[in-house]
A and B are shown apart, each in its own frame.
Chain A
Amino acid sequence: MFKTYEINQGIRLHYLKDSKFKTNTIAVFIRTKLSVENATKTALVAECIKGGCKKYVTKQNIAVVLEEMYGSVFDVSVIKRGDEQIIYTYFEGIRGYDVFEKSVEFLGDVLYSSIIKGSALKKAKKSLKESIEAVRDDKGEYAVEKMIEKMCGQKDSFGVPALGYSKEVDGIDEDTLDKHYNHLMTSAPMDIFIVGDGDEDNVGERFKEIFSGARCNIEEIKHSEYISSSDKPQVFLENQQLNQGKLCICYSTGLKAEKKSLMGLMVLNEILGGGANGRLFLQVREKEGLCYSIGSFVFKHKMLLVVQAGIDKKAYDKVVGLVENAVNDIKKEIDEKAVEEGKKGIIKAYQGIGDTPVERINFAFSMTLLGLELEPEEFMEEIKKVTALQVAEAAKALKSEIIYFLK
């Protein structure tokens, strides 16, 4: 299990010693409130971090030093979880050959001496705008993003895109961005997860040195559930002349993202659309032959359930009807057998969670975000305890908020 301790104000280090891997993995999560005002600036800071620093000025320079560290992997991305926007910095390098020591120093360089001006900033702006616009090219991802944006509107910050807004990028000047970068490094809560084989105390001391910059006024980030405001689902159809329609339907629950109700919703999700045993797969694909891919997933912080499918455009009405029927059936009745199968399905997925460092870290971070502090085995035990009543409560709470169809 990860051992956690604070290495600076608002910076926690979580260390897991695991000798079975060939690599050491470090993930730094810089967390901030997702907001219309700051989303673009935060995404632009991430782009600057990725693009180079005082010691390694360009991406090519970074690539050279990574090659010297035996092909170590480094990436910076921006993700959103509930009401948080997170800069996720990832590093993985093989054990031995002093790679770990060099990697800690490398991370310090890229995170703390990012170049926020001149041609570097110009390049970062270009990259960010392209990344924002590229979301449109992955039709499945685009459909989900647009659905959330339309559903949340102005009332829930969850609707703010993780990368911010393209039209704002050029208007961000050097001073404003530099201030924001300094604010993040000074006041954004940070969680650093490491899966490695080094001595815990040595690792802790080293990271304390690297992350020893001034810290104050640590941001407090609160999560809130999505609150439904309309009686009927919104329906949006967007025409992009596709060969296959992308259907997304979002259901709210109004439930709090607490352990009991979250577990119930997760089991419900597994029963409905968790894979080849899910009702949607069996009905829409296997029985009716109307799709190749269909499933559902949960936005845990917002306690939202999303059904997603790639379908024949002509079959839109039929598939929406089949999904509605599946949901209504589940609302009416859930038998014990379905609940047990749903639980088994989730447990099966989580049995392998410690099999790669990145999955182990992502799991631990998601637990941190949810305030659950569960190890994988404990999480699976909680799933085993879920009752048919909990699942039925989640099902009854499902309310269709929006149907988004990209065709």
Chain B
Amino acid sequence: MGFTLKTENSLGEKMFITTLSSGAKCYIIPKYGFGKSEAVVSFRYGSADLRFEAFGERRTSPKGTAHFIEHKMFEKEGGNFFADFIAGDADTNAFTDFNKTAYYFSCKDNFEENFERLLKMVGSVYLTDENVEHEKGIIGQEIAMYDDDPNWIVYFNMLKRLYKKHPVRDVIAGTQETLKTIDVDDLKAAFDAFYVPENMRIVVCGDVEYEKISQIAESVIEPKVNGARRAAIKEPMDIGRNYISDSMELSKSVFNLGFKLEPEEMGIKKVYGTKMLLDIIAGESSYLYGKLLKSGLLDESMALQYLWGRRLSLAVIMGKSDAPKDVANCIAREIEKLKKNGINAESFRRAKKKHMGRFIRGFNSIDAICMAQTELAVMDCDLFDAFDMIKNMEKEYLEELLMDFDKFTAVLSVVK
């Protein structure tokens, strides 16, 4: 088995990367002196992958299918894998987002045994009519929980207005109505199509021997044909109405201002460049935040997010304000000003320092390393690629990205 060894001397870290004979890709980051090690196994199959063709059949999954599979993965005939991980002294969990579904565990002892368990668990899914109906009760409560969360509501309201066709507009777990329609056949079809080694990314971090880890993965993962083709997402750049408002009787309105960006040329440079750019526009040290703070339109700083994926490039600025429309107008004006005058060199210098420092800080935590690498593995990149991007980022590139921010493809979502 061949490995690529990558090192980042300034961080004192290294990573072993290999592709298994089945097509699954492994990223192994040794780290010593910590209490626990962690492994994440993810599949490049998320809530947005609803329409596909596999084994000669075209399918449209009900919304929430990927998330439902995630729930069922822990069940097996006569029991569940939770109990097995607990017996192996490991903590385990999973999550689904737009691009992927990830299953992970952490433990101090029995790492190899638990790793093998995780790999075997995701190799099949135990589905019966009865256990699917039973899970609907649990997921129904999860959906209800999110329906009471203003941060969830404001976000998905924004997505619905920004995207006319892209499945990102649909809530990850689905709705109470779509939940009812999911059956064994839907789940099995999606599982067979997407849970294949070529879609699989394995990230391991901790006190591990990289050769042993990859040997286990090589021996456990069974080859499967990757027969799925995702349907193309044809999403126009124009948006619906640019404002949406909902009421939940909050103490203060929450807002999300989303900028729909061109999804072409998606890559790691764009991801890290856009994150840095958002910080320069609206971060805590920005001229804009200072102005909004002084005027009383904002108190707490805004949260900044860049969301990317298949035909997806979205920058979101989130905050709380009694006058969110005024805040949004200020943000739009600031962006136009920056487009006209360029980014201040001092702001850029500081932002680069900040992003370097925060990236280094991420290497404190085995979990943070695993999650960040899992995210990058979707586009077959690694953390050291990301660090290079940050270190070598140029102001002119950010100014290019800025040109794509257009108030006519932006939506303000508010929950009061």
In the bound complex, residues from chain B placing their C-beta under 8 Å from that of A94 are: 357, 360-361
Point out the residue from A69, A277, A341, A349 that lies within 8 Å of B357, measured CB to CB.
A69
Q: Is the CB of B145 within 8 A of A71?
A: no
**Number of A residues contacting the other chain (C-beta, 8 Å)?**
59
Closest residue of chain A to B106 (Cβ to Cβ) is: A352
Q: Does B137 contact A (CB under 8 A)?
A: yes
Chain B residues near A126 (CB-CB < 8 A): 296, 299
Q: Is the CB of A60 within 8 A of B134?
A: no
Shortest beta-carbon distance, A233 to chain B, in Å? Answer: 24
Q: Which of B158-166, B284-292, B334-342 participates in binding chain A?
A: B284-292
Interface residues of A in 118-152 (CB under 8 A from B): 123, 126-127, 130, 133-134, 136-137, 139
Q: Is the CB of A292 within 8 A of B285?
A: no
CA distance A59 to B286 in the complex (A): 11
Q: Mark B73-108, 1 if CB is under 8 A from A, else 0.
A: 000000010110010011110000000000000111
CA distance A73 to B141 in the complex (A): 36
A64 and B82 in contact (CB under 8 A), knowing A127-B299, A292-B138, A352-B108? no
User: Is B55 positioned at the interface, with any CB of A under 8 Å from its CB?
Assistant: no
Q: Which residues of chain A come closer than 8 Å to B34, judged between CB atoms?
A: 20, 352, 354-355
Q: Which one of B45-53, B362-370, B376-384 is at the interface? A: B362-370
Complexed CA–CA distance, A133 and B365 (Å): 33
Query: Is residue B350 contacting chain A, with contact meaning CB distance below 8 A?
Result: yes
Q: Is the CB of B285 within 8 A of A351?
A: no
Interface string of A346-388 (1 = CB under 8 A from B): 0011011111110000000000000000000000000000000
B353 touches A71 (CB 8 A): yes
CA of A139 to CA of B360, assembled, Å: 35
Complex interface: chain B residues within 8 A of A275 (CB): 91
A3 to chain B, nearest CB (A): 19
Which residue on chain B has the smallest CB distance to residue A92? B361
Partner of A137 from the list B89, B250, B301, B358 (CB cut-off 8 Å) is B250
Partner of B284, one of A59, A349, A357: A59
Binding site for A on B (CB under 8 A): 11, 32-36, 80, 82-83, 86, 89-92, 106-108, 134-142, 144-145, 147-148, 150, 248-252, 283-286, 289-290, 293-294, 296, 299-301, 320, 350-351, 353-358, 360-361, 363-366
Q: Can you offer 21 A-B residue contacts whose CB atoms are under 8 A?
A: A20-B33, A60-B285, A60-B286, A63-B285, A69-B357, A70-B354, A70-B357, A70-B360, A71-B357, A71-B361, A137-B150, A137-B248, A243-B148, A277-B82, A292-B138, A310-B144, A312-B140, A312-B144, A344-B89, A354-B34, A357-B364
Question: A: which residues have CB within 8 A of B?
Answer: 20-23, 58-60, 63-64, 66-73, 92-94, 123, 126-127, 130, 133-134, 136-137, 139, 240, 242-244, 275-277, 285-286, 288-293, 310-312, 341, 344-345, 348-349, 351-357
